[in-house]
Chains A and B, each alone.
Chain A
């Protein structure tokens, strides 16, 4: 509506007043010029992860400087302690090669220990459980049977009560061997000593 009224006013002033409307060509061009827009699209790249923001960098203790934020350290005397050295490749020219000495063979050199093994007693287990037929003894019962033992070569013997095994030592230097024996341990009923040791020649069958 205002545009139509302005057009009527302009025509009347031309008819009656002889005025011609002078217009700026540039403005007319601008009015009629087509707006040119690019058909390219701009890609807006946004990171998927959240933006990392560093509030303050905490330093470990540097000499006497206490742990502080980076901002507080910059500009202080602590920075004077940093020096930049020129890197040289000279040190790599000398490389010491170490030889590993294999000593396993030397470490496994055998030792002779006859004295040691002679001090360790021989043992005999109680074989009573393997007797097919236990011998009968008057007023006593058989508790244990140890065999075979060369009686004349025995220098010392002991009964290991925890295992029931007989421990004994042979005299390895004694030449006389003698016969071999079974050693029986009997429980005596009504006797002065409740236990009794009996040597029985091994050639005498007991089973």
Chain B
């Protein structure tokens, strides 16, 4: 269940690009101020590891290694995890025992009122007008959490009054770039 009292929001990303895997988790308060930030070093599997793990390498690294380590290291537990990758919803919910949704921007015209949440033709995908001066956000939830969409929408709308919901994703990216830059020197 959502813990509305704390109003902490978690942002979690796992990148797999340029032959490496990297994860980061940022927990903020409702104003976007960080309360916890964890990241993993870029994990570059060797050629031998790629052969030994085969097609299971991607899932093993993302779920068993990066997600498990990040989620167990986080001290402050958020009310809701916001993700950028739909494939992470299941593993994050299973490992953290907290609800998780995918949050994406959309180019659709704004809905009538702030807080309005409408289902789309896709199963488990909703459009949410989180505030009255932005485009609606695209929310994807797992099948078992479809019934909780109104709770998620309420929490996100309340949070959007004090911060830009998508902004921490870009902050994580810039922080990781800064880390990589500092470590390359």
Please tell me if the beta carbons of B65 and A108 are within 8 angstroms of each other in the complex: yes
Given contacts A111-B39, A117-B34, contact A147 B133 (CB under 8 A): yes
C-alpha gap A23/B34 in the complex (Å): 136
Please tell me if the beta carbons of B37 and A107 are within 8 angstroms of each other in the complex: no
Q: How does the 8 Å CB contact mask read for B166-185 relative to A, with 1 for contact and 0 for none? A: 01001110110011000000
C-alpha gap A107/B61 in the complex (Å): 11
Q: Which of A161-187 contact B (CB under 8 A)?
A: 170, 172, 177, 180
Please tell me if the beta carbons of A130 and B134 are within 8 angstroms of each other in the complex: yes
Q: How many B residues touch the partner, as a band?
A: 35 or more
Q: Is B137 an interface residue (CB 8 A)?
A: no
C-alpha gap A125/B135 in the complex (Å): 12
Please tell me if the beta carbons of B161 and A148 are within 8 angstroms of each other in the complex: yes
Q: How does the 8 Å CB contact mask read for A116-154 relative to B, with 1 for contact and 0 for none? A: 111111111101001100000000000001011010010
Given contacts A104-B45, A112-B37, contact A120 B73 (CB under 8 A): no
C-alpha gap A133/B61 in the complex (Å): 49
Q: Is B98 an interface residue (CB 8 A)?
A: no
Return the chain B residue nearest A111 by Cβ. Answer: B39
Q: Is B163 an interface residue (CB 8 A)?
A: yes
Q: Among B25, B69, B175, which residue has its beta carbon within 8 angstroms of that of A120?
A: B175
Please tell me if the beta carbons of B171 and A117 are within 8 angstroms of each other in the complex: yes
Q: Per DSSP, are chain B's interface residues mostly helix, strand or loop, or mixed? A: mixed
Please tell me if the beta carbons of A100 and B69 are within 8 angstroms of each other in the complex: no
Q: Among A108, A124, A172, A177, which residue has its beta carbon within 8 angstroms of that of B34?
A: A172
The number of chain A residues with a CB under 8 A from chain B is: 36
User: Which residues of chain B have C-beta atoms less than 8 A from A111's C-beta?
Assistant: 38-41
Q: Is B23 an interface residue (CB 8 A)?
A: yes
User: Which residues of chain A have C-beta atoms less than 8 A from B36's C-beta?
Assistant: 112, 114
Please tell me if the beta carbons of A122 and B175 are within 8 angstroms of each other in the complex: no
Q: Which of B38-53 contact A (CB under 8 A)?
A: 38-41, 43, 45, 48-49, 52
Given contacts A108-B66, A110-B73, A123-B171, contact A117 B37 (CB under 8 A): yes
Return the chain A residue nearest B34 by Cβ. Answer: A117
C-alpha gap A113/B163 in the complex (Å): 22
Q: Is A207 an interface residue (CB 8 A)?
A: yes
Q: Among B31, B32, B61, which residue has its beta carbon within 8 angstroms of that of A104?
A: B61
Q: Among A102, A120, A180, which residue has its beta carbon within 8 angstroms of that of B171?
A: A120
Whole-angstrom distance between the Cβ of B181 and the nearest chain A Cβ:
11
C-alpha gap A207/B167 in the complex (Å): 22
Which residue numbers of A lie inside 8 Å of B, CB to CB?
100, 102, 104-105, 107-114, 116-125, 127, 130-131, 145, 147-148, 150, 153, 170, 172, 177, 180, 202, 207
Which residue numbers of B lie inside 8 Å of A, CB to CB?
21, 23, 25-26, 31-34, 36-41, 43, 45, 48-49, 52, 60-61, 65-66, 69-70, 73, 110, 132-135, 161-164, 167, 170-172, 174-175, 178-179
A–B pairs, 17, beta carbons within 8 Å = A108-B41, A110-B38, A110-B69, A111-B41, A112-B36, A112-B38, A122-B171, A124-B164, A130-B134, A130-B135, A131-B133, A148-B162, A148-B163, A150-B162, A170-B32, A172-B33, A177-B31
